[in-house]
Chains A and B, each alone.
Chain A
Amino acid sequence: MIKPVILWSDVLIYLLVISVVAFLIQLRKRPQTRERWRSVFTSKVGMVSFVVIAFYVLVALLDSLHYREALPPSGEGEQTTAYSSEVKSVLDVVLHNLHESNEKTYSAPFAIYSFAKENLEADDGSIYRDYPRLEHAGKHLDDPSERTGDILWRTLVALMTGLLIAAVLIGLHKYVLRGSDGDNGIPWKAAYITIAILSMFTCWVIQLSEFYHVMGTNKVGADVMYSSIKAIRTGVLIGTLATMVTLPFAIILGISAGYFKGLVDDIVQYLYTTLSSIPSILLIAASVLLVDVYIETNAEEFNLTILRSDFKFLALCAILGLTSWTTLCRLLRAETLKVSQLEYVQAAHAFGVSHGNIISRHILPNITHIILIALVLDFSMFVLAEALLSYIGVGVDPSMHSWGNMINAARSELSRDPFVWWPVISAFLLMFTLVLAANLFSDEVRNAFDPRTVKEGN
């Protein structure tokens, strides 16, 4: 008995997915764009990085299906079933045994003892001070010495199951592909291996965190792995949504400036010079405050913490986007200027094709490569930016899982002695993987779409 909660960011991200699918479909109609994309995927790097990104996106999507559980009907008077104000996502179900097993405070990866000493009572009632056993991690072991063996064994099992799942997936895929001439240069092998690794990793995390804290626990004893996985949604969304915000401004303004020139051009140039001349950090800070005001002024609409944080989050994306469309706009303007001088545009004029058509059919398709490249680059940029903003204190809402927030905490955790390294490491690894994949993918996209690099080929 659940009640779905639809956050704006969820809506947007799913709309995005849909539009991407739509894009892929209409892509069939455009042979040489399709060619380009194929060439992206024919490179091993491109394929692997894509799979990785896809995996992240998948996680983000799972985490974007929110719902509220119904509360057990309160004793007397059966009225409308009420719902818990705790909003869960499908991902939480998958990871239930990560976030339901909270310790008191820090504990190292796979540790079964707490990180901090406590007063313990000996059997004889005397108080002594030592590292207590953890409440959840390794409680199934009666003898601590079994730990290593236990971990290894479970790991083995987990990996096997992971492999199995991967095998099934791959089998399915092969089955689907059997009709079409299987590998037209697309390195399925690489893809399969990646998938296998990912699924093995996933199984490993899920199964082992039933008995241990794979990446340890944080200050309040929450599983670090859990929060860093939850942070994926934040990272992916901030990357995609913010980028999405930049596009319309950059494209519309950039193209119209480059195409119509004259007054339009002057205005657009004025706009982006003004905007880009303001230190963007200040713009962001001020705007974030602005959002707070809005939330305060009509607080009743945000009666759930998650609604507030989600709104703030969206606002942040919007602000990031608004402050960083100028670069792309400048590029597009320049490129449009170039393209609109080309002879096929002249020809179109000669045929009296309307401005709208010229832009949509001649100019836009021939500057998409720039948009694409910028799009993928910005993605990684925004993911990184989030960490910085959280440091300055204008990042995502503290109640939200985000790598930025984790990294912040890490700064002090590292100054402890012995220093607490696991939160920062796990945040780092997940973030790094995503950004790295994104960057590599963007390189492939560039190689495929940027005419210059294409030329460089021979």
Chain B
Amino acid sequence: MATYIIRRLLYAIPILIGVNLLTFALFFMVNTPDQMARVQLGEKHVTEADIEQWKAERGYDQPLFINSEAEGMGTLTQTIFFEKSIKLLAFEFGKSDEGRSISADIKERMWPSLAVSIPTFIVGILVNICVALLVVMFRATSFEVAAMALCVMLLSISPVFYVIGGQFFFAKLWALVPISGYLPEEPWRFVLLPVIVGVIAGIGAGTRLYRTVFIEEANKDYIRTARAKGVPELTVLFRHLLPNGMIPVLTSVVVIIPSLFMGSLLVESFFGIPGLGSYTLDAINAQDFAIVRSMVFLGSVLYIIGLLLTDISYTLVDPRVKLS
């Protein structure tokens, strides 16, 4: 177990390096440090000297990947890439291009993100599973047909519509919740709408997925055994089908749990929630490379953790699986 986890973590390192490399390549291909400087310094009265100064302060005055001036290892180490990456691997995010401590921002912004994403996630899964179970219970009835048709419709609607509709009705017409914003003191009122929207937007796809999983389980022999034992239908559903069905469900679900931390780009920017999702989006628009880099890095780390968690969660729910 322990050795397994360690191995997986070691395996993560090359991935992280790869991720970093890619990010750098992409980002610096599209905008050179000079341009970044210009964006950051604003338009009026900017001189070359100021730009040089800015770059120097943030260590963008070195070559990207290979430093031909420096000798020996220097050719590789005295570069933007090396210096920035090394810090990242140690989780030192440093300062954003506009001079704020990134880790401080992350620490602060993760809470709103979590406040939205966790409820969305949990409620979402519960709702989906319940509906799916219901459908499986009534499979080969008109109820199933209707439910599935509904699901297809739901997932044929662009998520943007859910957001627009949600804000229009809940916040504007019915004045039930604030249209947007967030207050750390009383998050519930603000989180409610995003959560509802998020859940509804996900219900179509989720239900369909879980239904197929459950149907597959429902055709297994042990279900027949259970019914041959005289177990009533509901009990079969909950005591036998559900626990087994959860195993495949886990694969699709556990991976994203750590990523909940990153929040949702769309929802957060629509509902003005100061989470990490909108943070990333703003950084992209402002071309604040330091932040983008950190978020990407964070994202991939979380993703890898997610993969790990998935494996571990298997051992918890499925007695057959042993990690080695």
**A–B direct contact (CB < 8 Å):** yes
Taking Cβ atoms with an 8 Å cutoff, the residues of A that contact B are 270, 273-274, 276-279, 281-283, 285-287, 289-290, 292-293, 380, 384, 387-388, 391-393, 403, 407, 410-411, 414-415, 424, 428, 431-432, 435-436, 438-440, 443, 452-453, 455-456
Q: Kindly state the separation between the CA atoms of A439 and B148 in the bound complex, as whole angstroms.
A: 11
User: Number of contacting residues on B, CB 8 A?
Assistant: 43
Which residues of chain B have C-beta atoms less than 8 A from A387's C-beta?
A: 158, 160
Distance of A248 from chain B, by nearest CB (Å)? 20
CB distance from B91 to the nearest CB of A (A): 16
Complex CA gap A388/B161 in Å reads 10
| Nearest A residue to B148, CB-CB | A443
Give chain B nearest CB distance to A458 CB in angstroms: 10
| Contact, CB under 8 Å: B299 / A279 | yes
Q: Distance (Å) between the CB of B304 and the closest chain A CB?
A: 6
Asked whether, in the complex, the Cβ of A407 is within 8 Å of the Cβ of B161, the reply is yes
Tell me, yes or no, whether B22 is within 8 Å of chain A by CB.
yes
CB pair B15–A273 under 8 Å, yes or no, is yes
CA distance A424 to B165 in the complex (A): 11
Bound complex: CA A439 to CA B160 (Å): 18
A414 to B161, CA, bound (A): 11
* Cβ contact within 8 Å between B29 and A290: yes
Return chain A residues, CB-CB under 8 Å to B29. Answer: 290, 293
10 CB-based A-B contacts, threshold 8 Å? A270-B15, A270-B18, A279-B299, A281-B265, A281-B280, A293-B30, A392-B284, A403-B158, A414-B164, A452-B212
Interface hit among B74-82, B106-114, B149-157, B184-192: B149-157
Contact A432 B157 (CB under 8 A): yes
A407–B270 Cα distance when bound, in Å, is: 14
Contact A278 B299 (CB under 8 A): yes
Known: A286-B27, A432-B156. A274 touches B19 (CB 8 A): yes
Asked whether A286 and B280 contact (CB < 8 A) given A270-B15, A278-B300, A384-B159, the answer is no
Name the residue on B nearest A394 (C-beta).
B284
Contact of B296 among A270, A278, A384, A439 (CB under 8 A): A278
Flag if B296 contacts A380 (CB, 8 Å).
no
Q: Which B residue's beta carbon lies closest to that of A411? A: B164
CA distance A6 to B43 in the complex (A): 40
User: Which residues of chain B from 234 to 249 have any CB-CB distance to chain A below 8 Å in the complex?
Assistant: none
Smallest CB separation, A423 vs chain B (Å):
12
Known: A277-B300, A391-B266, A414-B168. A287 touches B26 (CB 8 A): yes
Least distance between B172 CB and chain A CB atoms (Å): 8
What residues on A are CB-neighbors of B212 within 8 Å? 452-453
> Across the two chains, which residue of chain B brings its CB closest to A285?
B284
B172 and chain A: residue at smallest CB distance: A415
Q: Are A279 and B280 in contact (CB under 8 A)?
A: yes
Whether the pair A290, B30 counts as a contact (CB closer than 8 A) is yes
* Contacting residues, chain B, for A285 (C-beta < 8 A): 284
Are B265 and A278 interface neighbours, CB within 8 A?
Answer: no
Instruction: Name the distance in Å between B316's Cβ and chain A's nearest Cβ.
Output: 22
Contacts of A410 in B (CB 8 A): 164
Q: Are A435 and B266 in contact (CB under 8 A)?
A: no
Beyond A282-B295, A428-B161, A436-B156, list 15 extra A-B contacts (CB 8 Å): A270-B18, A274-B15, A278-B19, A279-B262, A279-B295, A281-B281, A282-B280, A283-B26, A289-B31, A290-B30, A384-B158, A392-B265, A392-B266, A403-B158, A411-B164
User: Which of B19, B31, B292, B295 is within 8 Å of A277, CB to CB?
Assistant: B19
Q: Which residues of A contact B296 (CB under 8 A)?
A: 278-279, 282
